[in-house]
Chains A and B, each alone.
Chain A
Amino acid sequence: MATPPLALKLTGIRKIFNGIAALDNVSLDVAAGSVHGILGENGAGKTTLMNIIAGLIRPDSGSMEVMGTSLPAGGVRASRARGIGMVHQHFKLVDNQSVLDNIVLAVSKSLWSRRPQTVLRDIEHWCHELKWTVDLQTPVGELGVGQQQRVEIIKALCGGGRILILDEPTAALTPAEVDELALAVAGLAKAGMTVLFISHKLHEVTQMCQVISILRRGKLVYSGGVADLSVEQIAEKMVGAKVDVPRLVQAQGNTKSHALLELESVDYRISKRTPLILKQIHLRVHPGEILGIAGVDGNGQSELAAVISGAVIATAGRIMRSGAANADAPAGSAYIPEDRHKEALVLALPIVANLLLRKYRQRPFVRWGFCRFGQWRGHATNLVRKYDIRCRDVDDAVGTLSGGNQQKVVLARELSDLPELILAVNPTRGLDVGATAFVLRQLLDARTRGAGVLLIHGDLDELLSVSDRVAVMSGGKLLETPWPHSTPEQIGRMMLGGA
């Protein structure tokens, strides 16, 4: 059998950041027309490697070839001209411009050669090819995450992309959207595209890719057919040791005792003219249980979290904590928000400062209004050790940490004071297997010591594995499920609006 031509050939790529090898002598062959999965933990070097291919980062050494001819390193334009298109995990779109304008902006070679007509033809061609419908006139900011991703993909294709890099494309998608994406990826491969698919969700990779490469701590540990390894073997290669996803031993709804958090007929709408986003929400969280809230993204989960955390005020209804009506979160409650960059961390500030964001006003961290940085450091150093936050120094900016370690900073700050009530929203989003297990174990530990946890989570498997009770958000309504006396399939149907 003749070997298929190589779309991309990397040889001996090496990149050092701060004296730590982010990529160590990585060589990779990607066959043309294949869907190639890149797997690895957070901080394993996946994104760095992709940024090198896309020309955003210049490697310290190593060479690259595209379709048999060498590609100069460190040039975005050069990479793009050779047909490399990247869809970043955090989309690079202009929210207040229309879909068409976004694509035209990206595709135009210079300020003077904007040709909406030709671009329009390209867009229609690709939409047809992928069987997508995208409204070109809508401002991008009004689209859902899944639609925005489509815009990104079309943008890359219209820019002449023949080798598509999808960086964590499923991190923000609902299960249904993931399936659609899988179809699209298969369609792209059929149309002759090469797709590099980065993920740390094993089942997606095994489902979508023929070939996988696994990175661990900057080294390539495996590259080959996906069928040659079992899921367990892949996980082991990624993490380097066997992982056990934490699982609740025995579900026990503790509904008899008092409620730590109680919502009574809570409604929420943005303004009088907009429809209700939350409709008559009733829920109770008791000590020693995890109440899981499942649902397809965009059914009101974010708003529910915002109402409970106090970021917005409910339009109607009552929210009570430990029996007392109180809009503000008292000291004894923790909040792990959906977007840690927007609501939990200050990336430019050191780890110390981020770990103290809740307590900097308390003794002994303050005296006469002055910060006592010595005490801060002591406290932070303890937390860094206890929560195994991997960093060179507690004075490093949080922005220099990998996603998993950033989330550990949030957890360390929020959970170290043994809060009574924990509100967690998608706490494992974008995290690798090891970090996911760590986060879930922390929540289970909190439950075991008697805390009440409200877990709003998009990943149904994880949610079901740790929750005592499960409710489903659908169209702004909250429905209790008989879990654990029901199957995941039944819950899945409820998420889609069926009974």
Chain B
Amino acid sequence: MMIRRLFQRMCNAATAVTLAVLVCGAVLTLAIGAAALLGYPPLRVAVLWLHGAAGSWYALSSSCADACPLLLTGLAAGVAFRAGVLNIGAQGQFLMGALVAVALSTRMMICHQPVLVIPLALIGGALAGGMWGLIAQYLERYRSVPVVLSTILLNFVALYLAEAALQGPLQAVGTAAAQSPEIAGKYWLPLFVAYTDFHIGIILALVLAVLLWVLQERTVFGFESQVVGLNPGTAKAMRMPVTWRQFQIMFISGGCAGLGGAIQVLGQVHFMTAHMGNYGYAGIAVALLGRLNPLGIIFSAGFFGFLDTGAFRVEESSLALPHDMANVIKAVVILVMLVLAGISLRRSRRVGNPGSSAPTETPSA
């Protein structure tokens, strides 16, 4: 019986994904149509876009590598929102993770065996992100500062902390810029397909997503954190350890984001600046598009990565689509996707609830 229900659930997820993919295609065409209005040949933009994002093994690998940090920050937001912990601080946690990972693989090396350095850097990054998140949770619990507020503020603290470190102890030799030395090649995350961007961080992130899905949907811990998120009053009356669960969830959430930062520096960019992209903020959109479901987030992160990489290739191509234009198209696509997701969500809710007091306890950012 349980297997059948599991299967049903997977089917539901699958149809949702198919639908999403279909819609993506339609929407991409639409957005590129908009490009046409501005004087760019739409068909060529579309072809270049698709080709740049998925036209070759290499293109596919760079889409995936770009999706990888988004997947992790998306998981960070998704796990937290589902438990009612409004962690908007994935950006800061991501930076802290990256900072610690860079430190552990360049200036603060304990040993020189890659087998030890890489895991240490990854774990260190995850721990740093988790701890950074716990600060916010501590402030909410014991100093009545809402998590939404403190996580946003801590993003800036993390940003300037990273800049200070990158201009101080972690600065590369022979430069005035705030950037770290390059990580030695032997400490890079190994590739599982040579001459591409397929590094094992991607596999790690996917495994983590599946594990989180199991944790959320199948375990007592996941059930409790969901109840805590939907109705803290009932959770308390049922003697659930509300505060403890919130701290745990925040640690897991921050840990995901921190791991994302660590994987990004070790697997993709191999050195660090304080401006490594807005993966943390984009993660919130990724999580919402994935309906806070870790498996859904895999696909929404992949979609974002695909868009990003494709846009980059169109910019680089002979067409020389301006960077801003590519960003506009990306933004339109994401906006339309979110609206569509919102409509389908509303429809499913309307079917579910005849009463006037329909529960609208979906956490939102």
Contact = CB atoms under 8 A, between A and B. Distances in A.
Contact of A358 (B233, B236, B238): B238
A348 B361 contact: yes
Contact of B361 (A56, A309, A311, A347): A347
Contacts of A47: 355-356
B37 interface: no
Given A311-B236, A348-B230, A399 B219 contact: no
Of B227, B234, B362, the most chain A CB neighbours within 10 A belong to: B234
A157 B227 CA distance: 40
A247 to B, nearest CB: 30
A349 B237 contact: no
B11 to A, nearest CB: 15
Interface in B321-365: 351-359, 361-362
Nearest to A335: B237
B7 interface: no
Given A347-B361, A361-B220, A369-B219, A57 B356 contact: yes
Interface stretch (A169-177, A372-380, A482-490): A372-380
A493 to B, nearest CB: 35
Contacts, number: 87
A345 B234 contact: yes
Interface string A47-72: 11001000011000000000000000
Given A56-B356, A348-B359, A399-B355, A371 B223 contact: yes
A343 B356 contact: no
A348 B228 CA distance: 12
B5 interface: yes
Contact of B357 (A90, A329, A343, A358): A90
A112 interface: no
Nearest to A374: B2
A328 B239 contact: yes
Interface string A353-373: 100011011000010011111
A346 B356 CA distance: 16
Interface string A253-283: 0000000000000000000000000000000
Contacts of A400: 352-355
A106 interface: no
A177 B218 CA distance: 49
A22 interface: yes
B56 interface: no
B1 interface: yes
A373 B2 contact: yes
B264 interface: no
B18 to A, nearest CB: 23
Contacts of A358: 238
Contact of A370 (B219, B234, B238): B219
A311 B358 contact: no
A18 interface: yes
Contacts of B236: 311, 343
A491 interface: no
B223 A353 contact: yes
B349 to A, nearest CB: 9
A358 B227 CA distance: 12
A377 B2 CA distance: 10
A337 interface: yes
A145 B204 CA distance: 55
B359 A399 contact: yes
B354 A343 contact: no
A360 B223 CA distance: 9
Interface string B219-243: 1110100110011011011110000
Contacts of B352: 396-397, 400
B363 to A, nearest CB: 11
B353 A349 contact: no
A366 B220 contact: yes
Contacts of B220: 360-361, 366, 369-371
In order of increasing CB-CB distance, the 10 nearest A-B pairs are: A17-B354, A347-B359, A399-B359, A342-B233, A343-B237, A348-B359, A374-B2, A346-B231, A357-B238, A346-B230
Interface of A: 17-18, 20, 22, 47-48, 51, 56-57, 90, 309, 311, 328-329, 335, 337, 342-349, 353, 357-358, 360-361, 366, 369-374, 377, 396-397, 399-400, 402
Given A342-B234, A343-B236, A396-B352, 12 more contacts: A57-B356, A311-B236, A337-B237, A342-B231, A347-B359, A348-B361, A371-B219, A374-B1, A377-B1, A399-B353, A400-B352, A402-B355
